[in-house]
Amino acid sequence: MIKKADLILAAAFIIAGLAASYLLTSGSNPGKELEISSQGRLYGTYSLLEDRTIRVETSDGHFNVVCIRDGSAYVRKSDCAGQDCVHSHEISRNGETIVCLPNKLLLEVKGGEKAYDSISK
């Protein structure tokens, strides 16, 4: 049988977990540049302060269109099947990434200080 104290303890653990999660994610610093890798090789490094659109084409004919606007980067268009990269949120904080596995594309924000060294599970 569940007692009132059990419910209070469970609620306290949930609130503590949510607070810790918020503090860990809100403390990351804004990045300064976007590094784009295609098929395992560095494609280019671009400032997040300059708005631009970059079309990344692979040697096998696939493409992604990457947009940098207002200090954030996102994938606007891709010819991959799943479109997960297109539906990913905008990235602007140091260490954030967007990956398109079918087209072997990696976007990573760099240049700012990381709020933490590593995360382990």
- d(C-alpha 115, C-alpha 121), whole Å: 17
- d(C-alpha 66, C-alpha 104), whole Å: 14
Which of 33-42, 52-61, 68-77, 105-114 shows the lowest mean pLDDT across its residues?
105-114
Q: What is the sign, positive or negative, of the torsion defined by CA atoms of 108, 114, 115, 118? A: positive
| Per-residue pLDDT at 25 exceeds 70 | no
**In the chain, % of residues over pLDDT 70:** 87
When pLDDT is averaged across residues 13-31 and rounded to a whole number, the result is 79
Per-residue pLDDT band for 86 (boundaries 50, 70, 90) equals very high
Mean pLDDT estimate for the chain: 88
Six-digit token string for 85: 């990269």
Per-residue pLDDT band for 116 (boundaries 50, 70, 90) equals low
Amino acid making up residue 86: V
Cβ atoms of 42 and 104 closer than 8 Å: no
| Per-residue pLDDT at 120 exceeds 70 | no
Six-digit token string for 61: 């004919």
SS3 42: strand
pLDDT value at position 26? 61
When pLDDT is averaged across residues 81-96 and rounded to a whole number, the result is 92
| 89-to-27, 73, 101, 107 alpha-carbon distances in Å | 18, 9, 16, 12
When pLDDT is averaged across residues 33-58 and rounded to a whole number, the result is 95
* Global confidence as pTM: 0.70
| Per-residue pLDDT at 27 exceeds 60 | no
